[in-house]
Amino acid sequence: MNKFVLCAFSVLIIFFLFNVERRVGLFDNRRYNNYIDEYSNKFSVDFLLVRSIIKKESNLNPEAISNKGAVGLMQIMPKTAREIATQLGVSDYSSEKLKEPQINIMFGTYYLKKLLDYYNNNLILALAAYNAGIGNVDMWCKEIPNVSSNPTKIPFNETKNYVKSVMFIYKVHNSYRK
């Protein structure tokens, strides 16, 4: 192989790696890892799964607010957050606290664990419920064959794309774990 081809090939590989890193966020902004580690251990949820959801939901922006009103790193709805605060015994909770990374990650990880337990650790269904709600997912499970094993069967395009995207980010994160 001549030097030009080798150089061009090297540049393409470097470009690919940086593009994957930029899209998936494997090496950026580790400042929330201590909270992710704390609450993924406390609630027995994979650290990289929580990190993948945070990447997809807010791109690691604690000030993020969705057009539907979901707040913070893990994009928690205020109504859901109030319920979680009660369940966790957080007595001084206010909706402004959802922008605090520690509170948001605690609540989001707790909620994710509840969904994983509810759906017997079925990642597709838990992620779909995280995005579209338990009611929708329960209805799909009754009406759509194989929805629990095939995200392409999810009827909401936003949720279908969300599940596939989080699973891709999670897969890439896991490939670096090995």
The CA distance from 164 to 178, in Å, is 22
Nearest to 162 by CA among 119, 133, 120: 133
**Catalytic residue (one of 57, 96, 100, 143):** 57
Burial class of 139 by CB neighbour count within 10 A (0 to 12, 13 to 18, 19+): middle
* Amino acid letter for position 138: D
Residue 124: count of CB within 10 angstroms of its CB: 20
Distance (Å, whole) CA 172 – CA 166 = 10
Q: Is 137 helix (H, G, I), strand (E, B) or coil?
A: helix
Active-site residue flag, 83:
no
Measured over the CA atoms of residue 171, residue 148, residue 159 and residue 58, the dihedral's sign is negative
- Report the amino acid identity of residue 5: V
User: Could you write out the three-class secondary structure of 117-160?
Assistant: HHCCCCHHHHHHHHHHCHHHHHHHHHHCCCCCCCHHHCCCHHHH
What residues act catalytically? Answer: 57
